Amino acid sequence: MRRAVFPGSFDPITLGHYDIIERGLTLFDEIIIAIGINADKKYMFSLDERKHFIKESFKNEPKIKVMTYKGLTVDFCKKQNASFILRGLRNPADFEFEKAIAHTNRKMSEIETVFLLTSSGKSYISSSIVRDVIRNGGDVSGLVPETVIIK
């Protein structure tokens, strides 16, 4: 079974994330959307809200699991018997950052990182931009799945 982990904070999940996950489904038998828990990070949405947004977005997709984890992504992958980490790339800066992480992960394990380029119409979307739009009362309907409930 080709199982991939798609890690992130998903605060909140965006249409960019959704794009990568949807396209990843054609490559993998199962994708675990893994919400990383970082006690030092301040989130806009609670862990339960983020899980709910993702589960609702993919409620009709049996190849998707939603889980949470702490610690190293490669350790989580090993526990889940996942041989791949799925990552999205929006721009050259993402590539440089993700490349360093992928090399480190590969050095620590046999887990391969698979990169997908975000579709051109969604490459500008990031969770931090979405949070800024929300904080300022803007409309995020074209940036996030319909399941994301704005506070």
Active site residues: 17, 41, 90, 127
CB 53 within 8 A of CB 82: no
Query: Going by C-beta distance under 8 Å and a sequence separation of 6 or more, which residues neighbour residue 96?
Result: none
Degrees, nearest 5: CA angle 138-93-111 = 110
Taking a C-beta distance cutoff of 8 angstroms, is the pair 27, 2 a contact?
yes
Is residue 1 within 8 A of residue 28, CB to CB? The reply is no
